[in-house]
Amino acid sequence: MPDIYQTYKDVVKPSLKEKLGCTNIMKVPRLSKILVSTGIGTGEERDAFPEAKKNITAITGQSAVITKSKKNISNFKLRKGYPVGVMVTLRNQKMYEFYDRLVHTVLPQVRDFRGVSPKGFDHSGNYNMGLNDISVFSEIDLDKLKRPMGINITIVTTAETDDEARELLKLLEMPFATESGK
């Protein structure tokens, strides 16, 4: 297992149990899954989807799937069943490996990085963030990248509140920006 999982078991879990006053160890918040996705506009070429799928697969180490629209939207010239994006759901070991790389390798390489926004919580204990450029991932070959692409990352936790999730991610070394630094 990755080092970040060992840190969770040895340091974070006991600390959260004490801080949150959990009597049952199973009530301590933990990472549930990480979703990595990108949306591709309907006006773009059809070859954007295989390239995006290849890039997301390279970044995550798990095969990506092409997502399709669920309904017709005439203003966007979108029909039900048209491809609209690419996504991957990471769990268990691959989730912890991706999180470890994201926090320790990728985020520090982002230009003018001052921390991730502390406002990305959704009131259910999940955290959302986006990266405008995937070239910060070492798995991406810049010479083969045809078009700029950004990704959305959703970190789903078992925390019941945003405060519990924030504390979990802080202890897992997520570099949150300070309010004065924004």
- Whether residue 45 has pLDDT greater than 80: no
Least confident of 3-7, 54-58, 165-169: 3-7
Query: Does 23 map to a domain?
Result: no
Q: pLDDT tens for residues 125-158?
A: 899 998 888 877 877 776 677 777 888 999 999 9
Q: How many CA atoms lie within 13 A of 168 on its CB side?
A: 28
170 located within any domain? yes
In a domain, 137, yes or no: yes
Strand ranges (E), 112-182: 127-131, 151-157
Check residues 29 and 112 and name the one with the higher pLDDT. 29
Range of the domain at 117: 3-11+33-176
Number of folded domains that form the chain? 1
| Inside any domain, residue 17 | no
Q: Which pLDDT score is estimated for 42? A: 60
Beta strands in the chain (DSSP E): 31-39, 65-68, 83-90, 127-131, 151-157
Q: Is the pTM of this model over 0.85?
A: no
